[in-house]
Amino acid sequence: MVAVIVVVAVAIAVAIAVVIVVVIVVVVIVVVVNALVQAIPSIFNVLLVCLIFWLIFAIMGVQLFAGKYYKCVDANKTTLSHEIIPDRNACLAENYTWENSPMNFDHVGKAYLCLFQVATFKGWIQIMNDAIDSREVDKQPIRETNIYMYLYFVFFIIFGSFFTLNLFIGVIIDNFNEQKKKAGGSLEMFMTEDQKKYYNAMKKMGSKKPLKAIPLETASYSVRNSDGQNVRYDNHVVHRTEHAHDDIGPLSNERHIQQRSGLSQYDIHCDIHHRVSHEDFRPTLPLFQGALEPL
């Protein structure tokens, strides 16, 4: 019986874990798809820049390789040696086939296709080999006779492939960061609205710090009225080091005593005794005769 309960509990736990993983994966996929959809206008802008940039290399390719990818082949599609067949006329005289490569630079359209293959690194080796072996128009190619044409493909791979690919990736990542900024962070992107509210409330509560207690000073005022009796007034004054307006306290106390006692400031004998917290110990203020002035 216990074993059955354990098995059922494990199965339930595994099922819950699978459901949680599936939900997380679905949410991540939705976020990524939304980022891609939002990045479509920017992707088209980058694509336009890439097409203009590739147009330069396409025109250069047409100027360098137009009509030079032809070669003489036999019935087995084997390229014949230039020592046997030096040019197109000799090829046709021997009843061989003078054919062009499927991917060539005869015009700008095909040049774009060749550059696309080079940029994706699919089938680009044959395109580059035909360029390296090319000679003049209607001449049989010779292996690596035009070796400097490697530079054309190296520059295109660096600027036309790596550079443009980084542009596409940068646009997508930038859009993803914008969505994350709007959501308030990477964690909030995967939350519902209620979860965001709860998370923000808890974050605000965690950022709050307890207020520091401000030490108080107790000022005791002894006033002699017209009958010769001493009247004592106690009032709290904000500590000098904690409040920017501590000087206002004693002055207001003086006015308060004058209003209550009806005496002038010269009839007031003030004895100020400080009661401060254990964090601050300051010497007792001296007694003042006459006008009440704070230190």
pTM for this predicted structure: 0.54
* Bridge partner residues of 73 (DSSP): 79, 97
* Bridge partner residues of 232 (DSSP): 222
pLDDT truncated to tens, each residue of the chain (295 aa)?
A: 677 787 778 888 888 888 888 877 777 777 777 777 878 888 888 889 888 989 999 999 999 999 999 999 988 888 888 888 888 998 988 889 999 999 999 999 999 999 999 988 888 899 999 999 998 888 999 988 888 999 999 999 998 888 888 888 888 888 877 777 765 555 565 566 777 777 777 777 777 766 665 555 555 555 565 666 665 555 544 444 444 444 444 444 444 445 444 444 444 444 444 343 334 434 444 433 444 444 4
Domains located in the chain, CATH noted: 41-193 (1.10.287)
